[in-house]
Amino acid sequence: MSSTQPLAGYVVVEIGHSVAAPYAGLVLAELGAEVIKVENPDGGDSARGWGPPFIGDMGPHFSAFNRNKASIAVDLGDPDQRDALKALIADRADVVICNLRAGSADKLGLGSEALTAAKPALVYCELGAFGAGGPLSHKPGYDPLMQAYCGVMSVTGESAERPPVRVGVSMVDMGAGLWSAIGILASLLARKQSGKGCRVETSLFETAVAWVATPMARHLMGGGPQLPQGSGAAGIVPYQAFRTQTGWLVIGAGNDKLFAALCKVMGRPELAADPRFAKNGDRVVNQEELLPIIKAYAAGHESQALSRILDEASIPNAPVQTIAQLAEDDHARQLGLVQKADGRETVGLPIRFDRERPAYRSAAPSLGEHTGRIFAPYLAAAKR
């Protein structure tokens, strides 16, 4: 078994769509599991249509999160096809990932209770919107709704007076997928000892609340209103983007030693001993007096030149890059994060085993590409 494919031999059935469940399936597929993606024959996963751009029948979301998987087209409204899917799960699956709308899987006989009763060794991951057990459990949900409801938007952007801003990536969806993968891996490990599967539960809501743990802690500790910080971070100064002559550069002098080094670089060593700025807490309180000094210094330099100066003093810094710049970034390329297969490039899993990254084995499948090979025998048996 390859060190990058520790899940080789495991079979995962993904009854999911959009981002969260597919991202969980992606992680497991990258680690070597055979992931069988169940899609509606009428259009498939809705993420296929999220574009342009498009390659064949898929947009960027689908292409990014469904590589290394097989696709089978299953009409869950057809009793024979449902029975065939249940038979496939009972026969082959170690794991089921499901993010159908609350209650839908149970009505179809594909919920955790029915499937784990038929196969006690099955690990069933239920990835919901608001999670089970609360007054909102029946509601559907998407990433921006959770960023709104759980306060992420309230601490994102430039100021409370500006319109709400969504974090520009699907951080809640992808985070829920990661928690799902973690729960599944833990359950598979426990199953080796007990022989029994487990019902793993997580949701977009729970994930979003977990992401705001720090501002929640600040609030619960009496820290007052939690407000947007622009490019900065509440409670740390200086720790933000500064405009230079040629762009923006983030400077992260996140402790007193680094701040003293920054003061020396700026030719203002006395600032490190100034009681207004000597400790991080003092700098946070007095940031409106300190930040203009750093802004003026940064404005006198080009980004690359200032970055070199800061690097020589071991002060963390980074330019604000565009996605186009990142796609050609030499560091990302040399780490092998941008991978290619079947003529398509996408981002690989951000983990390595013995210095080797899991491979991009196959591009995201076309709708129902593997129905004949994987599903047809079970469907034929169900119709007898």
Confidence at 1, pLDDT banded by 50, 70, 90 = low
Give the model confidence (pLDDT) of 143-193 as tens digits: 999 999 999 999 999 988 999 999 999 999 999 999 999 999 999 999 999
Give residue 2's pLDDT: 80
pLDDT for 135: 94
The per-residue pLDDT for 383 is: 82
Would you call 173 a catalytic residue per the annotation? Answer: yes
Structural domains in the chain plus CATH codes = 11-211+337-383 (3.40.50.10540), 239-319 (3.30.1540.10)
Q: Is the pLDDT of residue 341 over 90?
A: no
What is the average per-residue pLDDT within 59-80? 96
384 pLDDT higher than 80: no
Bridge-based pairing state of the strands 239-244 and 247-252 = antiparallel
pLDDT of 102 over the 90 cut? no
Decide which of 67 and 384 is more confident. 67
Name residues whose C-beta falls within 8 Å of residue 360's C-beta, 6 or more positions apart in sequence: 67, 68, 339, 340, 341, 346, 348
Name the percent of the chain lying above pLDDT 70.
100
| CA 348 – CA 182 distance, rounded (Å) | 18
Q: Which residue has the higher pLDDT, 319 or 2?
A: 319
In the set 143, 173, 282, 329, the catalytic residue is 173
Taking residues 81-90, report their average pLDDT.
97
Q: Cα separations (Å) of 141 from 204, 228, 244, 307, 337?
A: 8, 24, 40, 42, 30
Q: Chain-wide mean pLDDT for the chain? A: 95
The pLDDT assigned to 160 comes to 86
Is pLDDT of 342 > 90?
Answer: no
Indicate whether 372 pLDDT > 80: yes
Q: What is the rounded average pLDDT of the residues 7-27?
A: 97
